[in-house]
Structure 1
Amino acid sequence: MSDIAIGSRGADGAFSARTVILILAIGILGFIGTLVLGAYAPDLRSGRNGGGHALSTAATGFSGLVRLAEATGRHPQVARDVHRLDTEDLVVLTPESGTTNLFPILSQRSAKVTLVVLPKWLTVGDPERTGWVHYKGLKPSSDPGGVLAPKEEIEVARHRSAGVPLVTSPELPRTIRFTAPRPLQTISGTGLTPLITDPQGRIVLAKLTDRPLYVLADPDLLSNIGMADARQAASALDLLDWLNSNEATSIYFDVTLNGFGRSPSPLKLAFDPPFLAMTLAIAIAVFLAAWQGAVRFGSPRRRARAIAFGKVALIDNAAALVRKAGRYAMLGNRYADMTRERASTIFGAPAHLRDGALDSHLDGLGRQPRFSDLAQAARDARDQHSVLSAAQALHQWLWEKNR
């Protein structure tokens, strides 16, 4: 009926424009934040799962060595992407099981210095403290022995050590002075050049003779357990420096073997160069389109009433209803009856005359056209144009007779 009720006042909105804008801004920022976190959530995992890798703070982890290397200016890098391992710098691999597939990385680094730290302990997570573990015992010796299989066959053994000092090869700096963990895990096999051994000559650290691949049998020399001792920690840093002595600028600790690699994601591509520029361009275009749609240009124009005031509006609306209903055929006869009544009153026709007799009386008032012919034409009209023509003819007849 109408946009504004007659005599009523416009009701105030439930929220002000500033409140609505603030709600929209918070919602949009929250949506964008959800997208970004969803894209990078796998890359932001802390790694505090009690495993034996560079992100773990458990006793069997190596985060202590990473933090120590960072504090002493060695610029360690935790590699979540296998493509970052294509570097001349030292790469430390810490597989947690003998079934871990090292072949893709080792084939990529066939001529580059790589240190493989064998697993040793069988642990379970502490349910009360995140990132802590409980010892269940030692892994079966066949498990760490299968890390380099089938290309390299090595055997793993465990021995009581009583914490004796380990023997260092003359090739290594004299500052490297490790004490044997308890128990001590050693390796043996063909193609191994011993670098660190126990007093009985059993190998703790070895180099493969055909390439710069080093194998550390006992992880406790570098793990968080060993970093608790200042002398062991200093020897660990000196060992990494010696292995990384080709003027390298960093040390890479791989965690892709431990399940913390970056997985490809179409959503992540939208936030990484070079696609980031396109994403920002689309976001700006959407923002400008939304701004144009939300901001009014010029003064507001009040819409007209659906039904206007006055007799003319009432007639127009009635005509519109007839036109929409398609009832033109009913109008001609009614208009003829109305004209007959008006003419009877104006010309003083006898009151007893009805229908045909009254039409004959009106026909006798004068010249052509006759009223009865005009009334019959109105009754026969069936469409809009013929009804209009008949009504105009009746109106003209009455006007001429009344002059």
Structure 2
Amino acid sequence: MSAPGNTRAMLGVILIGFASFLGLLYLLGSGEGGNVSGRGGNHAASAGLDGYRAMRKLAERQGYGVTLARDREALGQAALTVLTPPLNADGEELDDLIDRRRRDGPTIVILPKWVGMPAGEKPGWIRPYVPAAPTWVADVDAFDGLELVESEEPRRGWRGFGLQGDFPRDGEVISMRGGHWRSLVRDGEGRRLVAILDDGSAPFDLFESGALDGAGYDDDPDEWPLMVISEPDLVNNWGFADPAEALLAMKLLDVMASETEERRIVFDITLNGLAAESNVLSLAFRPPFLAATLCLLLAAIALGWRGTARFGPALAEDREIAFGKSQLVANSAALVERTRRFHLLGAPYAALMRRKLARRLGIARRGADRELEHEIDLRLLRRGRGDAAFTGPAAALRGSDKPADILRAARALKDLERTLL
């Protein structure tokens, strides 16, 4: 039996290895641990000028529960969700996502603007190169009638929610016009920069604060509110260099989040190509494959326990075919019995006993077998063994073909040999 100390040490090694293996499987399946903030781009994990990491961090410090959505299932929550599609987004995919979000919870869509170039050696940092309005807006049904306007003229800053400020680049602003939208933030020329869909779903806080009049308010809307920000410099990392724009970003988040019961905000990064793709490993820990995975884990634990709790060393198994003369005789006997060739055993055994008795009686080998057998009978008679003879049992043995007769004759010859000294 193994010593108790050795058993505990082995069990500890197995448990540590098992826990490490499970941790590795989780990291591989979840995709955690990647530095998405160093990739750049217009998303909430980016630290570049066109990213929204500053807004995400500010929301966290204001007490919101903030999460980055790495899969589409996380976008089906009732919490406020911020979508930041890139310039090369799929319009049909975004249309389907916004349509589902109108039924799930409030949504803010921040339109892209900058085509950036890498700046310096720090990963994720960009230099805004040229502004560009997205062309997929026409593919989204919720944006029906909405038109984006690019301007290279100064806009004399922005105003909204009792705040005002300047743009990082005043001559490169994208505004919007048309459609069923109501302005919340305008530039100095009165053009929309932030708007909310005018279908009666606008949050009550906008009417209570006076940002909107009550003409379009519905106290029981069928869908959740949808807000669009056409000028991303109002809320991205570049714009957060101005405290007024940081205050504006928080007001927009607070207004939209007021429609939900929980103080949570979900920032989407799947549209930016940072989704955690499903693989075989992650599927193994999701229904319906989770049941089979748990069964395999329990079986592994049971095998490990049996391996450590075994009493004594493992027993060596016997050979299927043993070595030695006894096994050879047994195999030969089994072959004869299987083939039913018993009549072939008598003559060889009689010859074997003839040689043994001749050697025992000191008879030199000469003449035929019959003469040798006759000589054996004479020697036995001279020794006073007239009751014993070799010729009769030997002839009976050679003439027998039944197992009982063969054994009787063979036993007679063996007894004769054994009694000779």
TM-score (norm 2): 0.71
Any residues of structure 2 matched to 1:179-194 within 5 Å, and which? Answer: 179-182=166-169, 183-194=172-183
Alpha-carbon separation, structure 1, partners of 2:76 and 2:329: 85
For 2:98, which of 106, 121, 124 is the aligned residue? 106
Larger CA deviation: 333-342 vs 48-57: 333-342
SS at match of 2:135: helix
Indicate yes or no: 2:165 matched with 1:178.
Answer: yes
User: Residues 2-401 of structure 1 correspond to what in structure 2 (within 5 A)?
Assistant: 28-29=18-19, 31-41=21-31, 45-48=34-37, 49-97=39-87, 99-100=90-91, 101-110=93-102, 112-125=105-118, 128-139=121-132, 141=133, 143=135, 145-146=137-138, 148=140, 152-160=144-152, 162=154, 164-168=156-160, 172=161, 174=162, 176-182=163-169, 183-210=172-199, 211=201, 212-246=225-259, 248=261, 249-265=263-279, 267-271=281-285, 279-280=293-294, 282-293=296-307, 295-298=309-312, 316=326, 319-320=329-330, 322-323=332-333, 332-344=346-358, 355-363=369-377, 365=381, 371-379=390-398, 388-398=407-417
Give the SS at the match of 1:256: coil
TM-aligned CA distance change 1:389 to 1:31, over 3 Å: farther
**After alignment, is 264-273 or 106-115 more displaced?**
264-273
Answer yes or no: is the 8 Å Cα contact 1:220–1:226 preserved in 2. Answer: yes
SS in 2 for 1:156: strand
Amino acid across the alignment from 1:53: H
Give, in whole Å, the separation in 1 of the partners of 2:324 and 2:80.
93
- The one-letter code of the counterpart of 2:128 is Y
Cα displacement (A) at 1:246 = 3.2
* Structure 2 unaligned spans of 5+: 1-5, 202-224
After superposition, give the CA deviation of every residue in 1:217-249 in whole Å (9 maximum; x if it has no partner).
110111111122323212221232233333642
Mapped partners of 2:416, 2:120: distance in 1: 106
CA distance in 2, matches of 1:202, 1:307: 97
Contact 1:80 1:256 in 2 (8 A): yes
Output the CA distance in 1 between the equivalents of 2:351 and 2:313: 52
Q: Which stretch of structure 1 is more off in the superposition, 298-307 or 126-135?
A: 298-307
The Cα of 1:216 is off from its aligned counterpart by 1.0
Give the C-alpha shift of residue 106 in structure 1: 2.1
Separation in structure 2 between the aligned mates of residue 124 and residue 385 of structure 1, nearest angstrom:
105
Mapped to 1, the partners of 2:142 and 2:259 lie a distance apart of 30
> SS at 1:103's partner residue?
helix
Q: Which residue of 1 aligns with 2:210?
A: none
Once residues 290 and 155 of structure 2 are traced to their aligned partners in structure 1, the CA distance between those partners, rounded to angstroms, is 55
Q: 1:226 to 1:293 in 2, by over 3 A?
A: same
Normalising by structure 1, we get a TM-score of: 0.74
Compute the displacement of 1:68 (Å).
1.1
Q: Which amino acid aligns with 1:319?
A: V
What CA RMSD, in Å, does the superposition of the two structures yield over aligned residues? Answer: 4.3
Equivalent residues of 1:50, 1:133 under 8 A apart: yes
Residue 208 of structure 2 corresponds to which residue in structure 1?
none
Q: Secondary structure at the match of 2:165?
A: coil
Give the CA deviation at 1:153: 2.7
Change over 3 Å in CA distance of 1:375–1:226 after alignment to 2: same
**Which amino acid is 1:178 matched to?**
G
Tell me the distance in 2 between the aligned counterparts of 1:200 and 1:290: 74
Residues 196-233 of structure 1 show CA distances to partners (whole Å, capped at 9, x for unaligned) of 11121121112222243222111011111112232321
Distance (Å, rounded) in 2 between the aligned partners of 1:226 and 1:271:
42
* Structure 2 residue aligned with 1:8: none
Q: Is the 8 A contact 1:336 1:378 kept in 2?
A: yes
In the alignment of these two chains, the number of paired residues is 376
Gaps of 5+ in 1: 1-15
Q: C-alpha deviations, 1:100-139, integer Å up to 9, x for none?
A: 4322232223365322111100124569432223433222
